[in-house]
Amino acid sequence: MNEQAAYLSEAIDAIVAGAGSLLPEFMLAFFFLLLVFLDLFKSETIKRLLPWIAVTGLFAALVTQILGGYTSGGVQFLNLLRSDGLASYGGILFSAAGIFTVLLSLHNKALEQLKQGRGEYFAFILMLVLGLNLMAKSVNLLMLFLAIETVSIASYILTLTLKYNKSSVEAGIKYILYGALSAGVMLYGMSFFYGLTGSLEFTTVIFWRTLLQANTLMVTVAAILVFAGFFFKISAVPFHFWVPDVYQGAPMPVVALFSTGPKMAGIIVILRFVNAFAEPGMVDFYSDLYLFLGLAALATLIIGNFTAIWQKTPRRLLAYSSVSHAGFLLAGLLAFGTDYSGSVLFYMTILLFMNFGIFLFLQIFEDELRVVTLPGFSGLGRAYPFLGVMALIYLFSLTGLPPLAGFMGKLLIFSNVWEAYSLSQNPMLLLLLGAGILLTGVALFYYIKIPYFLFLKRNQSEENLVISLSNKLLLVFFTLPLLVFFFKPDLLQLWIEQMLAQTL
C-alpha cells in the first residue's frame, strides 16, 4: 500500500509539474466548452457574439505562445507531450490559422445562413486547433495517435457543416472513409514499433538505436505504415485522394484551414521523426526509410503539379496545388546536415498567408458573383482591378516568383537541398532539386490560368460587385507579409531561430 501511495503521489506531482506547459491547450479547451454551452441559448445577441468569443480564445492562445514564459523550454507532460520551441512556433501558426478561419467565416454567405449548429461550428474550429497543438507537442506514439484523431474528428464535422449541400455530404463521407483507412494503417505500424522497441517515445535516441537491432525490412515496413497517417494529414501521395472532393464540397473558410493547419502539424510531426533518426552515424542505417521519403516527396511533387493542369474549377486547382506544396515541404525535410528546420518553418509561415489570401479571393467571387469555374473569372480583373492585383500577388507568390515571399520560401528549400547534396552526394537530393525547379515552371502554367481569365478574356457579366471594407482590409493584411518577408526575410528567420533555440 505504501508503495502504491508513493507511486500515486509521484504521478500527481509529475502531472502538476507538467500541466503548466499545456496552458494554451487549457485555454482552447475552456473556450470550446464555453462556445458549446452558449450555443444552447436562443438569444440572438449571444449568437452574434459566438465568433468573437472563438477569436478571443484563439487570440489568448496565440499571445500566450508568442510571449512564452509560462513554462521552461523542453518541459514534458508525463513523457507524452513536450513544450519546446518547435511546438510553440507551430502553436502560433495554428492559432493564427484558426483566427483567420473565423474571420473568413464571418464573410461567408453560406455560413451566415446557418441556423443550427453555428456555435458548434466555431467550437470545432477551436477543437481542431487544440488537436493540432497536441500533435506538435506529442513525443509519444499513443498520444500522437489520439491527437491526430482529435484533429480528424473535428475535420469531419467541419466538412459536413453544410448538411443540405450534397457535395459537402459526399466530401465528408469520402473524408471519413479515407481517414479511417489511414488511421488504421498508422495504428498498425505503431504497434510494430512498440513490439520492436518496447517503447512509445519516438523522439528518444534510445528508441531509434533499439530499432537498429531489429530486422531492417520490418522497421522500414513499420515506418511506412506509420507515415501513412502523416501523409493523410499533409495530403501527400498516395493519401491525397480526399483532397479535391473535400476542397470542392467544404465551406471556403474550412478549406483554407485544411490547406494550412493539418498540413503544418503533420510536417512538424514528420520533422520530429526525421530529427530523431538523422543523428550522425544513424542516417546510413535508415537509408531505406530515407529513400521512401524521397520517393514520396518526388511523387507528391509530380502528381500534384501535373494533375492541377487539367482542373476546370479553382477549388480543385488549388487542391492539387496544396498537394504539390506538401511535396516541397517533404523535400525540405530531407536536407540532412543543413538548417532544414528553419527553412521548412519559414515556408509554412508564408504558405499560411498565401493560402488564406487566395481562398478569401475565391470566396468573394464565389459568394457575390457565383464564380465556380475558371472561365467564370473572364474579364473580372479589369472590372475589379483591386481584386485582380491581389490575386496576382497571391498566385505569383504560390508559384515562387519574385518579388514575393513565396520565392524566398522555395529558394531556402532549394538551397538546403543543394547544400545537403554537396555534403552527401545522394542522387535522390539532386533528383528532388531538379524536379522542384522544373515543376515550379509547371506550377506557373496552371496558376497563370486565373490571371489569364481575369485580364485577357472579356467580361460577359453585368452584375456590380461591391467589396466590403473588411474584405479589402483582410486581403491587404494577407498580402503584407508576402512583400515584407521577401525584402526582409531575416526578420522571420531570426524569430524562427530564436524559437527553435528552445528546442531540447
pLDDT of residue 504: 43
Contact (CB, 8 A) for 135 and 268: yes
Q: State residue 413's pLDDT score.
A: 93
CA distance 191 to 222: 8
pLDDT below 50 — which residues of the chain?
A: 504
Cβ neighbours around 213 below 10 Å, total: 9
- Contact of 82 with 203, CB cutoff 8 Å: yes
pLDDT in tens, 367-401: 888 888 888 888 888 888 899 999 999 999 999 89
pTM of the model: 0.93
Q: What b/e string do you get for 81-120 counting C-beta neighbours within 10 Å, with b at 16 or more?
A: bbbbbbbbbbbbbbbbbbbbbbbbbebbebbeebeeebbb
Cα–Cα distance, 260 to 241 (Å, whole number): 17
Q: What are phi and psi of 261, to 5 degrees?
A: -55, -65
Tell me the CA distances in angstroms from 400 to 29, 437, 479, one per residue in order. Answer: 37, 10, 14
Q: What is the pLDDT of residues 456-487, one digit of tens each?
A: 877 666 667 778 888 899 999 999 999 999 99
Cell of 491: 526578420
Q: What is the dihedral of CA 368, 369, 375, 378, to 10 degrees?
A: -100
Spatial separation of the C-alpha atoms in residues 358 and 318, rounded to whole Å:
9
Peptide bond just before 238 cis, omega within 30 deg? yes
Can you give the pLDDT at residue 15?
65
Looking at 28-185, which runs of residues are DSSP E strands?
75-77, 81-83
| CB distance 180 to 172 below 8 Å | no
DSSP at 215 = -
Identify the sign of the CA torsion 137, 141, 142, 148: positive
Coil, helix or strand at residue 30: helix
3-state helix/strand/coil string of 380-443: HHHHCHHHHHHHHHHHHHHHCCCCCHHHHHHHHHHHHHHHHHHHHCCHHHHHHHHHHHHHHHHH
- Residue environment code for 293-308, b if the CB has 16+ CB neighbours within 10 A, otherwise e: bbebbbbbbbbbbebb
Axis-axis angle for helices 242-249, 314-333 (nearest 10): 130
The cell for 500 is 527553435
Distance separating alpha carbons of residues 224 and 246, to the nearest angstrom: 25
Contacts of residue 490, Cβ cutoff 8 Å, sequence gap at least 6? none
Between vectors from CA 172 to CA 138 and to CA 98, what angle results, nearest 5°?
A: 50
Q: Convert 268-291 into a string of H (helix), E (strand) and C (coil).
A: HHHHHHHHHHCCCCCCHHHHHHHH
The C-alpha cell that represents 422 in the structure block: 554537396
